[in-house]
Amino acid sequence: MTRIVVLPHESLCPEGAVFEAEPGESICRSLLRNDIEIEHACEMSCACTTCHVIVREGYASLEEPDELEDDYLDKAWGLEPDSRLSCQAIVAEEELVVEIPRYTINMVSEQH
């Protein structure tokens, strides 16, 4: 099992969270399984950016994003060098520290 630390997020997990994930499982599935209701509008098919996360620690343990994921990440709100789509980032053996951005692109577009 691999430990995932989720930094506090105002609405999804105000206190933050720490849980164990199965290596080979996506970060998104791990979050959902642990009652952190991250948005995943495309049902985890790598067709949107709503499950965007920033991997603050452990990024190097993840496989490199493929070209499709990179294309979608370019559209993500708050993109950072360690950003990933959580539906595509597969947990390995190294502990991860994950931040869920404050907004998704859906939320930003709804506000305008």
Contact indicator for 40, 87 with CB cutoff of 8 Å: yes
Paired tokens of 81: 């060098």
Q: Considering the entire predicted model, what is its pTM? A: 0.92
In this predicted structure, what is the pLDDT of residue 104? 73
- CATH numbers and ranges of domains, the chain: 2-110 (3.10.20.30)
Of residues 104 and 40, the one with the higher pLDDT is 40
In this predicted structure, what is the pLDDT of residue 108? 45
CA angle 10, 102, 18 (to 5 degrees): 55
CA nearest to 90, candidates 75, 67, 105, 69: 69
Is the predicted pLDDT of residue 1 greater than 70, yes or no?
A: yes
Is the predicted pLDDT of residue 112 greater than 50, yes or no?
A: no
Is the predicted pLDDT of residue 83 greater than 60, yes or no?
A: yes
